[in-house]
Amino acid sequence: MRKIELVGYDDQSDVETSVRTYEKLMADDKVDLILPPWGTNFAFAVGPLANKYGYPFLSTTGSPKKLLDLKMPYFFGSSWTAEQSTKALVDLMAAQHIKSVAIGYMDDLFGLERYNIVVPLLKEHGIALVGEKSFPANVKDLSVVLKDFKAKEPDALVGFTYPAESFLMTTQTKEIGFNPKFFYVAIGPAFAFFKQRFGDAADGMIGFGTWNTSQGPVQQAYRDAYFKRFNKEPDRDTTGFVWSSLQILQEAVEKAGPDRKAIRDYIASNEFSTMLGKLSYKNGMLARDSATVSQWQNGHYEVVWPAASATKPPLYPKPEWK
């Protein structure tokens, strides 16, 4: 049993501050291990730095293709890649026989990467892209865009969006009486406050999601421990990646010792039992064919895709707004 000192700094949600802080931790403080920052842009900035100093970097909220393409030996994309999550979305839409879609997306690496991936996938599956629009972070009004989408009567509405934009898109779609048969906003539905905000109207909403308490005692125990500690529900997406990455890191340290290269080599060459099931890495990314997708159904955020991982089948078409 080792006593661990946790050292933390506030990067103030600023990429440059985050880079300076991590350089201090690794070059000056010479900490034994690091945990990743939050978000794609931050992972893109800090990942190469961690690789430079030889620190295993398990990125739980950002695994962009541009970063994986650098093939950095110390970088592990510990969340779904844009390819995995976007393919899962399109496969789910195809399974529901969706014929048309309108897409709103963030004008940054997160949104642009997914938009560029989804266009050929839609074409491959014969799904028509009838509307598309990019927008910046913290946009205040999407009503004009959504009214234009509504007029095109797509089967599906998709938002490659962060929580604030997911909430705005959902709120204004409901306000204008637009009820697509399939409604996906990437980041946001997995948080309990999404259900608190929209109540029964959340039913049928789809987004990123990785786990559910009905999957087994490991997931239930995690939820109970989290609730006891913080007195609120954990999100059903990122927490799955974070906890699983900590399980992986713990096992690697236990088996390989404190040497960072030995830890890196152990992570790269082994399979791990985690909260998200069996996980391993291939070329720095999670070795899974598909990401998972979740949906609100009767007050529970169920895993609905792929079918082999599903806790419930998809609810389609989406119910009318309540």
Residues 13-34 have pLDDT tens digits of 899 999 999 999 999 999 999 9
Q: Do the beta carbons of residue 76 and residue 284 sit within 8 Å? A: yes
Q: What are phi and psi of 145, to 5 degrees?
A: -60, -45
7 pLDDT higher than 90: no
pLDDT tens digit sequence for 264-275:
999 999 999 999
Contact 101, 157 (CB under 8 A): yes
- The first and second tokens of residue 107, run together, are 């004008």
Instruction: Using alpha carbons, list the distances in angstroms from residue 12 to 17, 128, 276, 319.
Output: 7, 41, 30, 40
Q: Which two tokens stand for residue 94?
A: 């195809």
182-221 per-position pLDDT tens digit: 999 999 999 999 999 999 999 999 999 999 999 999 999 9
Q: What are phi and psi of 31, to 5 degrees?
A: -65, 160
Tell whether the torsion through CA atoms of 199, 205, 207 and 211 is positive or negative.
positive
What are the tens digits of pLDDT across the range 223-262? 999 999 999 999 999 999 999 999 999 999 999 999 999 9
H or E, element range at 206: strand 205-208
User: Which tokens hold the place of 178?
Assistant: 């637009």
- Could you read off the pLDDT of 50-89 as tens digits, one per residue? 999 999 999 998 777 778 888 999 999 999 999 999 999 9
How high is the pLDDT of residue 319?
97
Q: What is the pLDDT of residue 1?
A: 66
The residues facing 159 across adjacent strands are 104, 185
Cα atoms in the Cβ-side hemisphere of radius 13 Å centred on 264: 20
The pTM assigned to this predicted structure is 0.90
Distance, in Å, from the CA atom of 9 to the CA atom of 267, rounded to the nearest integer, reads: 26
Q: In one letter, which amino acid is 187? A: I
In the predicted structure, residue 119 carries a pLDDT above the cut 90: yes
Label the pairing between strands 277-279 and 272-274: antiparallel
Which SS3 state, helix, strand or coil, does residue 139 take? coil
Q: How confident is the model at residue 139 (pLDDT cuts 50, 70, 90)?
A: very high
Q: What is the mean pLDDT of the chain?
A: 95
**pLDDT reported for residue 64:** 74
For residues 190 and 116, give the distance between their C-alpha atoms in angstroms, rounded to a whole number: 24
φ/ψ of 38, rounded to 5, equals: -95, 130
Q: Please name the amino acid found at residue 306.
A: P
